[in-house]
Amino acid sequence: MIITEIKQLQLMCEEVKTIKEGEEIGAQLLTELSKSENGIGLAANQIGINKRVCVINVKEPIVLINPRIVEHSEEQFMFAEGCLSFPGKHVRTGRHTSVTIEADNHEGKLMFTAESEDINDAFECACVQHEIDHLDGITMFERSVTPQPVRVPEKIGRNERVTITDGKETKELKWKKAQPLVESGDWEMAPA
């Protein structure tokens, strides 16, 4: 049964002592995840086990025991996330475009990146960050971001008068005549 009580989900999970214990928890998680129609990941605390184990199942099932993010990109991508613990709720989050994970049950490092033409790579990259957040007591609501609108500069009409300067001289011209000078890089629009 999936836990939906937010206080329980905000607890930091304890490390698993043995790989065997982690694998047993991982098997439980994969069984529970298989009951979901659209779930792609699950953390142990979502089923009431306060241990650092999570699974993701986007391209293939992956069990992560005591996972930790050891490297991540500065760049982020926007992602509309849902969560099995909060059915019907969605949040727009900012997730790192790439992350490198270490886990006790994997030799070396695992790399997840959204910089691919395969949309499943983006799902996997966001999912692994989401599940590790669960293990750290962080819910998707704490990662919520509001996109900022991009302001497009106003278009100048060809017969509109503008003021341009080259730093020494200032001219007032119709945009049609000023545009080639501004585009050459020698002149720029003077502050209004």
What value does the mean pLDDT take over residues 173-191? 85
pLDDT of residue 68: 97
In the predicted structure, residue 93 carries a pLDDT above the cut 90: yes
The reported pLDDT for the residue numbered 163 is 87
Q: Is the pLDDT of residue 40 over 70?
A: yes
d(CA 69, CA 45): 18
Q: pTM of the entire structure?
A: 0.76
Comparison of pLDDT for 164 and 61, the residue scoring more: 61
**Weakest-pLDDT range from 23-37, 89-103, 134-148:** 134-148
Report d(CA 29, CA 32) in Å as an integer: 5
Residue 168 structure tokens: 């020494």
Closest C-alpha to 36, from 3, 84, 89 = 84
Choose, from 32, 81, 107, 131, the residue flagged as catalytic.
131
117 is catalytic: no
User: What average pLDDT score do residues 23-37 get?
Assistant: 94
Lowest mean pLDDT among 13-22, 82-91, 147-156, 165-174: 147-156
